Amino acid sequence: MSEKKPGFFQRLFGGNQPEPTPAPEETVPETPVTPDAIPDVPEPEAEPPAPTEPTDAPPAPEHDLPPGPPETTPDYIEDVEDNLAAAPQAVGEPEQPKGWFARLASGLKRSSDNLTSSITSVFTKRKLDAATLDELEDVLIQADLGIDTAIAITETLRRDRFDKDVSGEDVRAVLATEVEQVLAPVAQPLLIDSSKKPFIILMIGVNGSGKTTTIGKLAQKFAAEGKSVMLAAGDTFRAAAIEQLQIWGERTGAQVVARPTGADASGLAFDAVTQARAEAHDVLIIDTAGRLQNRDELMNELEKIIRVIKKVDPEAPHATLLTLDATTGQNALKQVEIFGQRASVTGLVMTKLDGTARGGILVAIARKFGLPVHFIGVGEGVGDLEPFEAQDFARAIAGQE
């Protein structure tokens, strides 16, 4: 799974593609659906009863566990088929619909173009002086790279090149080097400890940040490595999220534990961990409902899910992955801070780098928190999630070939 597909770097840079839809401004995710805003979906109980305290022999689950994906009625299958075009792609060699692929590539091209053209315009005018360095610092901050990185880059230039002719290309090289230095320590693969059966991954993040899609992509990767995967449809607020996970389950051969909409998410997590243990799956990935980090009651619910998982396996979750939507810009820093405090995040996945000029935020996050970044997403397709590589990202941001 760490093998890098040819062409991914190409997708980061883009080619001659049509203009993408402009990236949204910060704070609001692309699909800002809060549980409150969803019609016809019953709210779960404010404080549903926790599952029975487990002992050495865990108690029987509250619900009868289905042998496989539970919804198999003709209507459901029809809905699923209708959704296939918009949903994840089939397992195996991913097919990239050309129009979509072109939009992804164009998104990142715009991002690096914005940065590099600003740099070029600053550095074609004169020898390196204090005013030029100030302008450069502004450009770098506006690109969401963070003040520390912006200062580090300008200080390097001040030290090495002050009062000398400096080209945009020279500056891009310094930028790439600095960004790579910041990112290299956090670019860490997600290691699945095979002594844990199952290795439990909890997926968390704000609404629409890409949790469910990322779970599907991960399930595909693990399945391709021969691992047996179970998915838990813990976003019990939204019927669509449950169905989305079931589609991924069908496509990746992963068993899906699901409950009707509105079921208690902690109870579902407990059942899923118990079942995955009993059946000795290699990996269990638990989806959760999207929640804004400032919704205290929803963050309490997340803490409860974690407590309940620990009742079955005190070491679990073995990985708690926070998905971050790159288009949210500076707000992503707040998300890392609060989710980190409340849910002990162990690693990050940044999605939607294809649709934004704000990919630099990953550099600011890496510098501030030092949390591992395991994957980045550059599209909705199953092949659009790649292990994070510092050098590729640095070169893409700096507009280097």
Among 211, 259, 277, 318, the residue binding ligand GTP under the rule CB under 6 A is 211
Counting contacts by CB under 6 A, is residue 41 touching ligand GTP? no
Counting contacts by CB under 6 A, is residue 377 touching ligand GTP? yes
Burial class from Cβ neighbours inside 10 Å (0-12, 13-18, 19+) for residue 281 reads buried
Residues annotated in a binding site? 205-212, 287-291, 351-354
Nearer to ligand GTP, 249 or 355 (CB): 355
Q: For residues 61-80, which are near ligand GTP according to CB under 6 A? A: none
Among 212, 252, 275, 320, the residue binding ligand GTP under the rule CB under 6 A is 212
Counting contacts by CB under 6 A, is residue 234 touching ligand GTP? no
> What's the N-to-C CA distance of the chain in angstroms?
25
Q: What is the DSSP letter of 187?
A: B
Nearer to ligand GTP, 33 or 141 (CB): 33
Nearer to ligand GTP, 266 or 327 (CB): 327
Nearer to ligand GTP, 57 or 86 (CB): 86
User: What minimum distance in Å lies between the beta carbon of 166 and ligand GTP?
Assistant: 35
Counting contacts by CB under 6 A, is residue 207 touching ligand GTP? yes
User: What minimum distance in Å lies between the beta carbon of 380 and ligand GTP?
Assistant: 4
Tell which residue, 396, 382, 385, has the closest CA to residue 97: 382
Counting contacts by CB under 6 A, is residue 220 touching ligand GTP? no
Residue of closest CB approach to ligand GTP: 290
Alpha helices in 30-88 (DSSP H): 74-83
CB 385 within 8 A of CB 160: no
**Binding track, positions 112-151, relative to ligand GTP; x by CB under 6 A:** ----------------------------------------
Q: How far apart are CA 354 and CA 293, in angstroms?
A: 24
Tell which residue, 4, 379, 70, has the closest CA to residue 221: 4
Give the Å distances, CA to CA, from 271 to 61, 74, 114, 200, 304: 6, 27, 49, 13, 14
Counting contacts by CB under 6 A, is residue 252 touching ligand GTP? no
Spell out the residues 6+ positions from residue 35 whose beta carbon is closer than 8 angstroms to its own: 41, 43, 237, 238, 289, 291, 298
Among 70, 329, 379, 387, the residue binding ligand GTP under the rule CB under 6 A is 379
Rounded to the nearest angstrom, the gap between the alpha carbon of residue 167 and the centroid of all alpha carbons in its chain is 35
Counting contacts by CB under 6 A, is residue 213 touching ligand GTP? yes
Q: What is the DSSP letter of 238?
A: -
CB 287 within 8 A of CB 211: yes
Residues at the contact surface with ligand GTP, assessed by CB under 6 A: 30-31, 33, 205, 207-213, 235, 238, 241, 290, 323, 351-352, 354-355, 377-380, 384
